[in-house]
Amino acid sequence: MQKDQQKLAQLIQGKKVAFIGAGVSHKTLIKEFVELGAHVTLCDQKKSVEDFGDYAATIRELGIDLSLGENYLDGFKGQDIIMRTPGFVGYFEKPLQDAMAAGTMVTSEVELFFDFCPCEIVAVTGSDGKTTTTTLISKFYEAAGRKVHLGGNIGAALLPMLPEVSPEDVAVVELSSFQLISMHASPNIAVVTNVTPNHLDHHKDMQEYIDAKRNILLWQTPPCRAVLGFENDITRGMEKDCKGEQVWFTRLHETDRGAFLRESDDTLCYAENGVVTPILPRKEIQLRGLHNVENLLAACAAVWGRVPIEAMRQVGSTFTGVEHRIEPVRTLDGVTYYNDSIASSPTRTIAGLRSFDQKIILIAGGYDKKIPYEPLAPEVLAHVKTLVLMGATGPRIEKAVRECDGFAGSGLTILHADNMQHAVELARGAAKPGDVVSLSPASASFDLYPNFEVRGRDYKNIVKNLK
């Protein structure tokens, strides 16, 4: 057992630890914590052990205590440590605050990884572009020959990786507001892509959401780097929170510190100490859309001076994207179908719409996160010929579009679908050879799907099975 794992073991051994929920990462950690000598209680809204399915046998085998049902949070009482999960967002609500007041340590898998990780950590947050930027950073380091540990909100638990992490490695982490809200540690290199209204169904207000994002910066200690999006008012305002080196990324302005798109020759560049270094012509980038130019600029700014320019050029000219992000699905009868299921907010959908140089057929709508749709409306009128709406937000999107100046003369057709199958059928019926159909919902998936990945794969399966 290496030193960092020993420190974790010392924290856990003999302690009473409550886990909120048994998601994928917690299932791994529960077993590890039991083996390290913790007395584990699982707190979950499920009503009986049988409701855990195949995991019920593991619960019995490990001797885990259960606090289930309507009063599952009663299991917090008397615990030494409570392990949060991003899915449980009530950090400032009474049960967790009471536990902390009683001396209980409230933490999470990501927070413990930050506490014990022996190597440099690069972390990315923001309302849009997190996953693509995080993935690009990891690929830059890999192209430079570094061993990378990629995880966090991007889908992999980090703490179980700890035994494999060496000081010369690099951890590249995507962080959501739900993960950041309780953080008391920040990465060596922090990236904030942008901050726009999102998750307001869970955060009490926009300020709480912004403050959660700021946590990626507030606990940095020099030497450190903060990379901020210059074009977003909120991230630009975070300059005052930076503790060390602060650089920008922008595609609309030139900057004297950071990464930018040079207008004169359409080239991605980096500026520092009065020297501008070209990185890559925009025409060589494989990623679709101007928002992905920004993601690439953010990634370059994060690794500048740590990764050779040749590695950035290699990745920038070959990387074609992450699943569910303007992902080509197939071309049928001259119509090209794209999966942009990641677009769970209006800003994401707007970025997707602007990546096409023609009016498209858009499938939108889903779970209501209580965010405004008025900013989406003029972009729909400018970039969409047929709008297929579904889900709880369908009527809200339609209202915003119909009330937008210019709707009457736009020629936009609005259709309504009962489900994804119906939406694809309506889109296909409206399409002619040369058209583009894109699923870009501007909404979360939770009304019909557990997450955007399942939504995107269902859409792809339906499209691939069209005759």
449 falls in which pLDDT band (50, 70, 90)?
Answer: very high
Per-residue pLDDT tens over the stretch 144-184? 999 999 999 886 889 989 999 999 999 999 999 989 998 99
Task: Give the mean pLDDT of 184-190.
Answer: 97
What pLDDT score does 131 carry?
A: 92
Q: Are 356 and 291 in contact (CB under 8 A)?
A: no
What is the total residue count of the chain? 467
CA separation for the pair 16, 40 (Å, rounded): 6
Homologous superfamily of domain range 3-107: NAD(P)-binding Rossmann-like Domain (3.40.50.720)
Contact 206, 176 (CB under 8 A): no
Separation between Cα atoms, residue 420 and residue 111, nearest integer Å: 37
Looking only at the bridges linking them, the beta strands covering 327-332 and 81-84 are: unpaired
What distance in Å separates the CA atoms of residue 130 and residue 176, rounded to the nearest whole number?
9
| 200 pLDDT more than 70 | no
Q: What is the pLDDT of residue 88?
A: 57
**Tens digit of pLDDT for each residue in 63-111?**
999 999 999 999 999 999 999 986 655 787 788 899 999 999 999 999 9
Give pLDDT, residue 92. 79
Q: Report pLDDT for 5.
A: 81
User: What is the rounded distance in angstroms from the CA atom of residue 131 to the CA atom of residue 401?
Assistant: 29
Whole-prediction pTM value? 0.81
pLDDT at position 420, please? 98
What is the Cα–Cα distance from 72 to 65, expressed in whole angstroms? 12
- Considering the chain, what is the average pLDDT of its residues? 94
pLDDT at 168: 97
Determine the average pLDDT of the residues in 312-325: 93
Q: What is the pLDDT of residues 234-284, one digit of tens each?
A: 999 999 999 999 999 999 999 999 999 999 999 999 999 999 999 999 999
High-pLDDT (> 90) share of the chain, %: 84
Strand partners, 328: 338
Look-up of token digits 């405004």: 372
- Half-sphere exposure (CA, 13 Å, Cβ side) for 171? 31
> CA 385, CA 370: separation in Å to the nearest integer?
26
Q: In this structure, are residues 316 and 259 in contact, taking their beta carbons and an 8 Å threshold?
A: no
Q: Which of 49, 84, 94 is nearest to 69 (CA)?
A: 49
pLDDT at site 142: 98
Which residue ranges make up each domain of the chain? 3-107, 117-316, 327-464
231 φ, ψ (degrees, to nearest 5): -85, -5
Predicted local confidence at residue 89, as pLDDT: 53
pLDDT of 201 > 70? The answer is: no
- Judge whether residue 429 has pLDDT over 70: yes
Q: What's the CA gap between 190 and 122, in Å, rounded? A: 6
Q: What is the pLDDT of residues 368-400, one digit of tens each?
A: 988 899 999 999 999 999 999 999 999 999 999
Domain covering 117-316, topology: UDP-N-acetylmuramoyl-L-alanine:D-glutamate ligase (3.40.1190)
Rounded CA separation 308/311 (Å): 5
Superfamily for the 327-464 domain: Mur ligase, C-terminal domain (3.90.190.20)
